[in-house]
Amino acid sequence: ITLASLQLMNEQNIVAAVVLHSSVRILPMLQQMCRGLELYVSVVACIFFMKAFELCIIKGFFYSDLQPDADFLMMALSPILSEVGSVKRQRESSIVNYLQDFIQSLEDEGDAEQDKITVSSFMQWITGQGHVPITSAQREKFKIHIEFDHDCQLRYGQHSLCYPLVNACSCTVTLPTWHLGTYTEFLGIMRQAVSNSREFGRS
């Protein structure tokens, strides 16, 4: 056996090893990558069409059926009240009445002004969605939790104003009772809060 024949045999063995490695390892990896890309494209397409379908439902044929009205919003209110007969309970009950009057006024005012607060935009501010839940089961479970803050003066000291605090994830709004003694005060603070749509705190 000559040196040239040994080199030729080694080259053939090396080529065979490379081909075997490509067939056993690299090719399956490339196939998995292709399947992964196909799956990714399919998922992206599904998300796109789902969003498009949702948009068609909400803003299309069923838009009027999904528009919230004052009655729906008031039925969804779920205030967390203090002990019956307490001073806190009296304040909380008054504020709940203010809130119901405010919601009703939004519907009575109509949609004349472009930047006016509507029932839908108010619901969007509190819950993150401006439409009625689509299914009947979701509508039955839908609640807007109302909590009351009686201690802002103790926490913050002397201050002139607190805005409501909203947690859209849990559909909860916390109302500062100290600053909502009258309906006029409630109306002014609530309109500022919803219109500004910022992170609210004390001033």
What would the pLDDT profile of 116-161 be if each residue is shown by its tens digit?
889 988 999 999 888 888 788 888 899 999 999 999 888 888 888 8
- Cβ-contact 109, 187 below 8 angstroms: no
Domain coordinates of the chain in residue numbers? 1-61, 64-196
Instruction: Using alpha carbons, list the distances in angstroms from residue 129 to 66, 80, 134, 168.
Output: 11, 22, 11, 9
Which tens digits make up the pLDDT trace of 86-104? 999 999 999 999 999 999 9
Given a cut of 80, is residue 202 above it in pLDDT? no
Spatial CA neighbour of 107 closest among 139, 60, 70: 70
Q: Residue 201: pLDDT band by 50, 70, 90 thresholds?
A: very low
**Residues 26-41, mean pLDDT to the nearest whole number:** 70
Report the alpha-carbon distance of residue 49 to residue 41 in Å, rounded: 12
- Cβ-contact 171, 198 below 8 angstroms: no
Residue 56's pLDDT is 54
| Element (DSSP H or E) covering residue 174 | strand 172-176
Share of the chain above pLDDT 90, in %: 38
- Cβ-contact 163, 192 below 8 angstroms: yes
Residue 33's pLDDT is 73
**Residues 8-37, mean pLDDT to the nearest whole number:** 67
Residue 184's pLDDT is 95
Averaged pLDDT score across all residues of the chain: 79
Domain over 64-196 is classified CATH 3.30.2410.10: yes
